[in-house]
Structure 1
């Protein structure tokens, strides 16, 4: 079948379809539109880059298309994503590919597109596949930031005409915008995660705050009810804490609370355990899948460890050091029940511990519920 002579670098078009053949400008517009879609639809930066190189090798007659990203300081290549009909031997990108090496490094150093028409004769070319004959590299730059290099390799030494190179120059500009958008999205998500984390942390002690505890209690109650597993709660109160603040000052009292939180965190060693500041000098340990006996052991260990810390308490009527009273409650939640039942039971147990002389653990049965 007769064919029209193609424009150098573009696929041949059958003569009977010549009138319908896309021009390089039209093909470029389609490619740029698809690159834009990849930038907007990719789940993360890797997905965006993968979609772009796949698009290039599907739409253009290139053997290899790769995007090589720089590290934040621009001294080394740290990541490469490629697609193509040829197997590309990739270097290990663990900070061992400095921009002082390779044709890609030369492209970064000069900041200009680099056309290698004879890879065997180029002193900087690093062979990725022996079938490659020519290579075109374009800096991927968004405003003042150089993100990396678009690398196109061909088995045809004459493939990279001026028109073809212009296509890849435009694609590199589009990729730069796509990378910028993806990184902005990543940074925004990281900032949102940080904000969510900060909103759930108590600023004084560094453990979870009351809001985080309330959310976790609801979730654990529902899960343990479904699984018929016990849920335990320790309500911990620093004994005579107001007297400690009055005698030693609030700065010392704050440091004692921080140390108390650290001791509590040591005992919350299960993956599902949560330590939180409940309010004032009260802390809580939420212990899913712990029955009353197990929770009581944790509470007694905690009481003893706090006393061993020997944080001075000159005005305590209980001991010369900071001590804690602990109320323990444990039950198997019922779907129709309320987490407030567990809190009320732990609070009643704490009241009993205080009434019994403080520096002690109390674990009365929970009325109207299966004991854990």
Structure 2
């Protein structure tokens, strides 16, 4: 039975929709040869549709070996979808793409339907990020070596002076050197925390918060983190984030402070809140700037490090007022961490 006018109209409409989606679309037969590609697919690879139709995909994707391709292609189950990142090579021009391939059976015959997206821009950004990380590593080396060495020399001479000279100025020099050491340590941390997250695990929010609290001088302050749930993170870096926020709560109040860590509703992330003086709404946009500090003895890097760690995980930060009128930092972790 031939196609009815309605069938032909539907086929034309389907073809028009496939051409209009703006995504590269291809159909392969059960041997892995192109049966159809739309204009967007050919454009991404910088070629024309006719040069692809009928050839095996292994001729376009160098990582596919023809002698092993049949086993790979036949391993698809009906309805199965696979995601991959490959390089497609046409006429000597290589294009990095993301592919999504699905097996479907039509009229008893197996076909694979694939889409591709050009990831050249993403690859360029990844390269830029890699170069940025290398520069940060170099900067960290300079901080660690070129600044710490003369600081160590100055500290050594100061210790000699302290045994021979009893003057108030000696204490001032010691205080200045201690501040320099703090600045160097914070700069070094800031440089390192800007790197993308590489190793993540399911971290108990309550456990890591309790470990972080043990590392700070809590004075008479109280702490609560008795919540269930985990977050996918680099454990060491999330502990650094929490320690910085706990210190921030304690150092910005003259009295004891109560700090709480808990999950956000709908498992979107977690929050840290306190009952301190809070952060004025007009200041909330500025507090993560390394040049901003309300403490004349502070470096301003503590919260900058927090935002670097959150950004490296792909988390967003919201600063608001806690129920007790203090500060509340919310971290939404629904997005995947940046991997490298």
TM-score, with length taken from structure 1: 0.26
Query: Based on CA coordinates, which of the two structures has the bigger radius of gyration?
Result: 1
